[in-house]
Amino acid sequence: MDIVLLGPPGAGKGTQAQRLADRLGIPQIATGDVLRAAVKQGTPRGLEAKAYMDRGDLVPDEVILAIMKETLASDGAKKGSILDGVVRTLPQAEGLNRVLKELGRKVDAVLFFDVADSELVKRLGGRTVCENCQTPYTGREPGSKCDKCGGTLVRRKDDEPEAIRNRLLVYGKQTAPVLEWYRTHGAQVRTIDAVGTQDEVTARALKAIGK
Ligand code: AMP
């Protein structure tokens, strides 16, 4: 199964993608994580992406399409994938369809994580992530240790107030239309109420895809 997770920044896509990937035995693919790793390693792709990411703007579609091709064709993703924040513009949605078609696959479901804006701002402002494995945490101070790998928790630069505001604007302008596009292009779109405990939201997501 190839499942697209859509939703504003802070809706919990990263957390739920990891949980769904574990439950379904297919990998989580997160362009944000791939890009942050590239920035850390200082690769040409990372250098190109950094300024966009720091401002909370979207990285150009060509970069994202190249990542889609590499990751979806990899051995680990042969049985499918949980695409977390990978599709954020209409050209990316069309590009994903093309890449999957070449592999004899298609988008099997689109899960939309629904959360009110006021809640998103609260969540993003209090978020830290593991600098090593990218696991997100709420309400844990920078400098604490990750439960999963012992890495150090840091505040993401794009979780500063100015970048948060921009990311929400960018989402409304460029990504929200993608949801409508999927609705009119035959994909199975399911809205998930993404407010609740992690277990509750995972259960809703699994139910939405019939698991
Ligand atoms: P995320 O970790 O998903 O919040 O992504 C962090 C940042 O990476 C975003 O604010 C964008 O700058 C960039 N990014 C990640 N995925 C995409 C994408 N599909 N299209 C464009 N930019 C992206």
* Domain-embedded: residue 85: yes
The predicted pLDDT at position 84 comes to 97
Residue positions annotated with a catalytic role: 13, 88, 127, 156, 167
Region of residue 34 (left: phi > 0; alpha: psi -120 to 50; beta: else): alpha
Total-model pTM? 0.92
* Domain-embedded: residue 194: yes
21 Cα to the center of ligand 1, angstroms: 19
158, 56 Cβ separation under 8 angstroms: yes
The predicted pLDDT at position 187 comes to 86
State the DSSP string of the chain.
Answer: -EEEEE--TTSSHHHHHHHHHHHHTS-EEEHHHHHHHHHHHT-HHHHHHHHHHHHTPPPPHHHHHHHHHHHHTSGGGTT-EEEES---SHHHHHHHHHHHHHTT----EEEEEE--HHHHHHHHHTEEEETTT--EEES--TT-B-TTT-PBEE--GGGSHHHHHHHHHHIIIIIHHHHHHHHHTT--EEEEE--S-HHHHHHHHHHHTT-
191 Cα to the center of ligand 1, angstroms: 21
Q: The CATH number of the domain where 197 resides is what?
A: 3.40.50.300
For atom 10 of ligand 1, which residue has the closest CA?
Answer: 56
- Percentage of residues in the chain having pLDDT higher than 70: 100
The predicted pLDDT at position 186 comes to 81
The predicted pLDDT at position 154 comes to 95
| Domains: count for the chain | 1
* Domain-embedded: residue 198: yes
* Domain-embedded: residue 210: no
* Domain-embedded: residue 144: yes
Q: Which of 13, 28, 35, 124 to mutate to test the pocket of ligand 1 (most atoms within 8 A of CB)?
A: 35
The predicted pLDDT at position 57 comes to 96
Instruction: Render pLDDT for 18-56 as a digit per residue (tens, 0 to 9).
Output: 999 999 999 999 999 999 999 999 999 999 999 999 999
Domain of 140, in residue numbers = 2-204
* Domain-embedded: residue 41: yes
Residues of the chain with pLDDT under 50: none
CA dihedral angle for residue 77, residue 152, residue 55, residue 3, rounded to 10 degrees: 20
Tokens describing residue 167: 């990311």
* Domain-embedded: residue 152: yes
44 Cα to the center of ligand 1, angstroms: 17
* Domain-embedded: residue 209: no
The predicted pLDDT at position 167 comes to 95
